[in-house]
Amino acid sequence: MSPIEPMITPATMQHALSVYNTLTGQRTPFKPQTPPFVGMYVCGPTLYKEAHLGHARSAINFDVIQRYLKHIGYQVRYVRNVTDVGHLTDDADEGIDKVSQQAQVEKRTPMEIVQRYGYSYRRDMDRLNVQPPSIEPQASGHIIEQISTIQEIERAGLAYAIDGSVYFDMDAYMRKHTYGRLSGHIPAQAKAGTRPLAGQAQKRNELDFALWKKADATHPMQWSSPWGVGFPGWHIACTAMSTKYLGKTFDIHGGGMDLIFPHHECECAQAQAAYQKPPAKYWLHNNVITIAGQKMSKSKGNAITLAQLFSGMHPNLTQAYSPMALRLFVLQAHYRSPLHFSEEALQAAHNGYRKLMHGLRVVHEFAHAPAPTLDNPDKALVAKLAKIFQDCYAAMNDDFNTAKVLSALFELLKYIHALKQRQLSYSALGPTIFQQMQVTYRCFVEDILGLKEDLQIPPEALLHIVRGLYQDAKAHQQYDRVDHIRADLKRLGITLQDTPTGIDWYYS
């Protein structure tokens, strides 16, 4: 970005930002505990299969949130965990560890599974231009912290051990605290809806959840603990890791809406039990992606992996889609709204992405061209454009409403094209608005929404075109063109060569 001072100073936007807090059910002004520092923890994936569109939505949404917080002057410590132990096939503490189960299917060790899908997840996030978090802790690397947190809960009298497992004591907790504030689950109703599960006989209350599980000799992941050999529960890992890196209470806890209950509700209870305070001030949750009216998920068998989307190799797809088309598809909806998947919607996002990128190229041309003479601004036009700039910030300050931001950017794009096509004169804008147009468009498209040029043209295809031009120039005896083509390619490290079978190329 060029060093142009914008009319709207990002730092002045801090006081204008409001967010919807799942904990209170209200939209409130965002006020971090110790500004300008912001601590944000987001529940990342369980690494046992390829990442799918649901994973992409959460990662993209919270990537934009942390980008905007940084843009308006906050120093963000963004912690996004990965789960590699303790997440059982039944979220109510029973079943098989998901990573261990996949290891059995693929005949690998659990850590091979974690390494394989961790690598593919990070590769996919990089392709989506999702910035890596400040810290990315893994559950298996924080066993000591999880044991320590469980002991704090025990000392508070809110956990009990049975036969090598440790459970959260819901009855004791509810005598001192309120359970269900985040999710709205009333304990009596939740208990009535709990189906019988194997192993529930150990629990004093069906709503008690595992903090530590006893491992038998065949379990592939197990650690020593004060209660015997076992492994941590799913919920305790996030409480231990978030508080280790962000403190006992931090600013933002994020994740998918499907995690509100039981995962995040249990996190709230654990932190309150261990540290006598809730873990986060603001709870932000992105909504789900639906397909044919159902939530897209691996468990329902209707998930589309990112690899399938980028390759087009899925029954519901007729072509491949670029990572940036997917990113725009996600951002076309507010993060708390359902996002309905269809190929038509993806195609529309693909077309919209191309329009935004063309506008970006035009704006970059403006920035590198000689400054035009600007001396006769149209006051009405200036007011319209100034409102569009303000609308971009107002949308982000309205609980990170990227859908409204895109609407404002497409409106701004009309004026950018009008300038390019000389339907609008530079002098009608005036120097300040002309510069602000460039700054606003580049800043929101690239820096905040995180869109970038994703043009993918095979080099062989380009060389085929160049060889055709070279051959045509030779046929018409245009030897100056021939020399120019050869010289230009040589500067790129490529040499053309005439052979008995035609024109070939090789690296210089």
Residue in the block written with tokens 């003479």: 373
Count of residues making up the chain? 508
pTM, entire model? 0.90
Q: If you search the block for the tokens 């002098």, which residue do you land on?
A: 427
In 3D space, the residue among 480, 53, 138 whose CA is nearest the CA of residue 308 turns out to be 53
Among candidate residues 183, 136, 139, 129, the one with its CA nearest the CA of residue 42:
136
Tokens of 88: 């059982």
* Contact partners, residue 14, CB within 8 Å, separation at least 6: 35, 72, 73, 74
Element spanning 210, H or E: strand 210-214
Residues 6+ apart with CB under 8 A from 505: 463, 467, 489, 494, 495, 496, 497
What are the beta bridge partners of residue 284?
254
Q: Does the structure show a pLDDT above 50 at 38?
A: yes
Higher pLDDT, 269 or 94: 269
> Up-side HSE of residue 153: CA atoms within 13 Å toward CB?
32
DSSP letters along 336-366, please? TS-EE--HHHHHHHHHHHHHHHHHHHHHHHH
CA 18/CA 22 separation, integer angstroms: 13
Q: In angstroms, what is the C-alpha Rg of the chain?
A: 28
DSSP string, 32-99: -SBTTEEEEEE---BTTS--BHHHHHHHHHHHHHHHHHHHTT-EEEEEE-BB-SS-EEETTTEEEEHH
- Of the candidates 439, 397, 410, the one whose C-alpha atom is nearest the C-alpha of residue 68 is 397
Look at 25-29, 148-152, 229-233, 456-460 and tell me which has the smallest mean pLDDT. 456-460
Q: Give me the pLDDT at residue 377, please.
A: 86
Percentage of the chain lying above the pLDDT 70 cut:
94
Query: Which of 75-84, 292-301, 409-418, 442-451 is predicted least confidently?
Result: 292-301
Contacts of 106 (CB under 8 A, 6+ apart): 112, 113
If pLDDT is split at 50, 70 and 90, which confidence band does 426 have?
A: confident
- The span from the CA of 305 to the CA of 290, in Å, is 14
What average pLDDT does range 219-240 have in this prediction? 96
Q: Give the confidence band of 110 by pLDDT, cuts at 50, 70, 90.
A: very high
Per-residue model confidence (pLDDT) at position 188: 65
Q: State how beta strands 94-97 and 88-90 pair.
A: antiparallel
Position 316 confidence tier, pLDDT thresholds 50, 70, 90: confident
First to last CA, the chain: 35
On whether the CB atoms of residues 304 and 212 are closer than 8 A, the answer is no
Helix (H) / strand (E) element for 286: namely strand 280-286
Express each pLDDT in 466-494 by its tens digit. Answer: 888 888 888 898 889 888 888 888 888 88
pLDDT band with cut points at 50, 70 and 90 for residue 166? very high
Sheet holding 294-295, edge to edge: 294-295, 289-291, 339-340
Other CB atoms within a 10 A radius of the CB of residue 118 amount to 17
CA-wise closest residue to 225 among 278, 165, 289 = 165
For 166, phi then psi, to 5°, come to -125, 130
pLDDT at 348: 96
Q: Give the separation between CA 428 and CA 377, rounded to whole angstroms.
A: 4
Handedness of CA 32, 284, 324, 416 (dihedral sign): negative
